[in-house]
Structure 1
Amino acid sequence: MDFAGAYSWPNLSFILQGFGVTLLVAALSILFSFVLGTLLGAIRYARIPILYRILAVIIDLIRNLPLLLIIYFIYIVLPLVGVKLPLLWAAISALTIFEGAMISEIVRGGLNSVDRGQIEAARSSGLSYLQTMRFIILPLALRRMVPPIVSQFISLLKDTSLCVIILLPEMMHNIQILQGHSPNYVIPSLILAAVLYFAVNYTLSIIARRLEAKTA
């Protein structure tokens, strides 16, 4: 093991550059998947007749596919039909689609957990459906949704490592390149990767606990 060589500034800088790409992909995927998942979950909760069933089939299909397959589909299959995305956006699109489907079920479950009596009371007091959703249903459902949503975001951050398969220059991709230069870099580089992943994921866990406490 060569810790000094693995952590020399050129190698450390190369790993951190990859980690920057990891964080960028994760951040944008978290943002887009949250918006997509909330929208899909709300639509399914509203049970709009035809749209509800179509979305149910699509979401169940995506949730039961491996993320790796979706990454391959976006990066390899779509260009065959004329839709070619830059490498970064191919990775973000795949993660957004997969995680959005997961989050939609969390949102739908959270909304369904709200007592119907409170909804009926809000509607009978003169609130519209959208007002009831905004002021009654969402605040009550939020504290139930925060922990599983943040857990999903933590999974998303770890899942960015799967994008190494399409040569996205994220952290694990760069670490593999370093390991190819010297087998003595394997353990030091993996230890550094573990520390960086843990630091971000633990921070997200702390944020989740604080948000849950505030909404309690």
Structure 2
Amino acid sequence: MSSTSKSAGDDLLFDAPGPRGRRRIRSATGLSLLALAALADFVWHQFDVNGQLAADQWQMYSTWPIINYLLVGAENTLLVTAVSAALAFPLGGLLALLRLSRHALPRALARGYVEFFRALPLLLLLYLFLFGLPRLGLTLPPFWQLVVPIALTSAAVVAELVRAGVGALDRGQGEAAESLGMTHWQSMRWVVLPQAVRRLVPALVSQLVRLLKDSALGYVVSYLELLHRSQVLGEYYHTVLSSYLVVAAVFILVNASLSKTASWLERRV
């Protein structure tokens, strides 16, 4: 699409600002940047006054014991993410197939599951696993108390992604396969699903970002993932701010890498 056609399309959505409007936009942008700069300077000054920028608050992160302590937390975070994805993605795919079934009962059961777990907050589900299951005589290790609720809620999201991906395909794909003698499930397996999943790869990779962030709820079940370890570290050494900032940088780096991967896959697909 040429730049001329893009501009024409944009004009249909809103009126292009005139000279006075452009001056207002530039003035508002300049004032916003000044306000953000003043806020950043104020926050930096407060950190400095309270000793949060002192060298002793940051030197500890150059020592191997502290680095190793955080690396173990990062390993636990990645393990939770990987196991949750390994459980959620196949379960979500199965739920999507049930929702696409031609029989009413599987569709109703799958829809009930999806609607229930999409509406239920993950934090509440974690508390149910933490306090509710022991009352029923079932106590899971902290790792599974965190992984299972994350996988259950994520499976509902994955199911909707796959269902939407299948619904976005031309219906003629499945009809053409069935006209060649394939059954409904054979056409889904060999024709429809491969095309839908290929298009959904970037969205599924983006779902990993959500799983990674959900793993930060490990403090609820006393599982020492990265964020929980940074909290323990900050409280023990009285470096709460620097601990959280270091871990935030790690999360941003990992999530940015996953987002870049999703963008690259989207271009490739």
Indicate whether the TM-score tops 0.5.
yes
**C-alpha displacement at 1:38, in angstroms?**
0.7
Q: Measure, in 1, the Cα distance between the counterparts of 2:158 and 2:214.
A: 15
Q: CA deviation at 1:79?
A: 1.5
Give the aligned CA root-mean-square deviation in angstroms: 1.7
Aligned to 1:13: 68
Deviation at 1:168? 0.6
Match of 2:222 in 1: 167
* Counterpart check, 1:187 vs 2:244: no
User: Which residue number in structure 2 is paired with residue 105 of structure 1?
Assistant: 160
The structure whose RCO (Cα within 8 Å, separation 6+) is larger is: 1
Please name the residue that 1:72 is paired with.
127
Q: How far 1:186 moved relative to its partner?
A: 2.3
Give every structure 1 segment of 4 or more consecutive aligned residues whose post-TM-superposition deviation is greater than 3 Å. Answer: none
Q: For 1:196 and 1:187, locate their aligned partners in 2 and report how far apart those are by CA, in whole Å.
A: 14
Structure 1 residue 122 displacement after superposition: 1.2
Residue deviations 1:160-179 (CA, integer Å, cap 9, x gap): 11121111111111111111
On the 8 A contact 1:6/1:188 being kept in 2, the answer is no
Question: What SS does structure 2 have at the residue aligned with 1:94?
Answer: helix
Unpaired stretches in structure 2, ≥5 consecutive residues: 1-51
TM-score, with normalisation over the residues of structure 1? 0.91
Question: Contact 1:45/1:112 (CA < 8 Å) preserved in 2?
Answer: no
Separation (CA, whole Å) in 2 of partners of 1:33 and 1:52: 19
The Cα of 1:49 is off from its aligned counterpart by 1.4
Residue aligning to 2:28: none
Tell me the number of residue pairs that the alignment of Structure 1 and Structure 2 aligns: 214
CA contact (8 A) 1:37 1:100 kept: yes
SS in 1 for 2:100: helix
Q: Which residue of 1 aligns with 2:200?
A: 145
In the alignment, is residue 85 of structure 1 matched against residue 146 of structure 2? no
* Whole-Å separation in 2 of the counterparts to 1:181 and 1:20: 21
Paired position in structure 2 for 1:212: 266
User: Which residue in 1 is equivalent to 2:253?
Assistant: 199
Identity of aligned residues (%): 36
Q: Does structure 1 retain, via aligned residues, the 8 Å contact 2:145–2:221?
A: no
Please tell me whether the aligned partners of residues 164 and 173 of structure 1 are also in contact (alpha carbons under 8 angstroms). Answer: yes
CA distance in structure 2 between the partners assigned to 1:93 and 1:158 by the alignment? 15
Following the alignment from structure 2 to structure 1, what is the Cα–Cα distance between the partners of residues 263 and 234? 37
Per the alignment, do residues 42 and 65 of structure 1 end up closer, same or farther by CA in structure 2, a change over 3 Å counting? same
CA contact (8 A) 1:71 1:163 kept: no
What's the offset of the Cα at 1:11? Answer: 1.9
Q: Answer yes or no: is the 8 Å Cα contact 1:75–1:166 preserved in 2.
A: yes
CA distance in 1 between counterparts of 2:61 and 2:262 reads: 34
Please state whether the residue corresponding to 1:169 is helix, strand or coil.
Answer: coil
Q: Which one has a bigger Cα radius of gyration? A: 2
> For residues 46-92 of structure 1, what are the alpha-carbon distances to aligned partners after superposition, in whole Å with 9 as ceiling and x for unaligned?
24311211221221011011110111111221121122111111111
SS at match of 1:14: helix
**1:23 and 2:87 are equivalent in the alignment:** no
2:203, 2:262 within 8 Å by CA — same for their partners in 1? Answer: no
Matching residue of 1:52: 107
Deviates more, 1:194-203 or 1:53-62: 194-203
Mean Cα displacement is larger for which, 135-144 or 60-69?
135-144
Rounded Cα–Cα distance in structure 2 between residues aligned with 1:139 and 1:106: 14
